[in-house]
Amino acid sequence: MVLPRAARTQRRTRIQEEKEEQILEAALEVFATHGFRGSTIDQIADVAGMSKPNLLYYFRTKETMHRALIDRVLDTWLDPLREFDAEGNPASEIRSYIRRKLEMARDFPRESRLFANEVLQGAPHIEDELTGPLKALVDEKAEVIRSWARAGKIAKCDPYHLIFAIWSTTQHYADFDVQVKAVLGEAHSGEGRFEDAARFLEQLFIGGLAVAQEPSAT
């Protein structure tokens, strides 16, 4: 994890912590709007309401701020997947996962855009995270899904593409929310759109993974 410069000092004060959060909040806004390449330290300092030299005391480079935010996003984004429980009921586990991912799309749209922008650029700053901790976690949870299929609790499926599909469908409501609201229209584009999405995605994924019942003998 990348630490801001002030975090590496021996006597870190409450004011330093507040300044770091102020800077990272501004950086999140700028990066989510302009992407990494289109963002500048001057823009971040302006949004943070501080001078450029003051900002650079806490974070020496644009890359350091970006990586600190990406580390946070990855940790938050992966929490719901970490809770996938092999001993749990598959339908309940998948339903919970879908709903938590939609809640994150609703509550953290800027973080979602930050991550999406990074991946669309080829993930130059986080390739080590994607091929390391992220892959290890997905491998682990893919085996959970396989174990459910082996036990006859869900239909056989490719666990990786199931996870990818849940990622893409839920994150759509963060990255393309303007489009979602425009297409749904005023009558259906309120906060209830997330509940509507949750019910549909539950039907899609849980229903699609249901084990076919053998026809009864007559």
Q: Is residue 182 part of a domain?
A: yes
Predicted local distance difference test score (pLDDT) of residue 188: 85
Q: Is residue 184 part of a domain?
A: yes
| Boundaries of domain holding 24 | 5-60
Q: Are 189 and 181 in contact (CB under 8 A)?
A: yes
**Number of structural domains found in the chain:** 2
Q: Is residue 22 part of a domain?
A: yes
Residue 5 is classified by DSSP as G
Predicted local distance difference test score (pLDDT) of residue 140: 96
CATH number reported for the structural domain that contains residue 45 in this entry? 1.10.10.60
Q: What are the tens digits of pLDDT across the range 120-163?
A: 889 888 889 899 999 999 999 999 999 999 999 999 999 999 99
> 23 and 80 share a domain?
no
> 36 and 89 share a domain?
no
Q: What are the tens digits of pLDDT across the range 66-111?
A: 999 999 998 888 899 999 899 999 999 999 999 999 999 999 999 9
Q: Which pTM was predicted?
A: 0.84
Q: Are 164 and 81 in contact (CB under 8 A)?
A: no
Q: Is residue 67 part of a domain?
A: no
Predicted local distance difference test score (pLDDT) of residue 84: 87
Q: What gap in Å lies between CA 26 and CA 109, rounded to an integer?
A: 15
Predicted local distance difference test score (pLDDT) of residue 63: 94
User: Can you spell out the DSSP letters for 145-164?
Assistant: HHHHHHTTSS----HHHHHH
Single out the residue of 76, 44, 67, 27 nearest to residue 174, CA to CA.
76
Q: Are 4 and 71 in contact (CB under 8 A)?
A: no
In the predicted model, is pLDDT for residue 9 greater than 70?
A: no
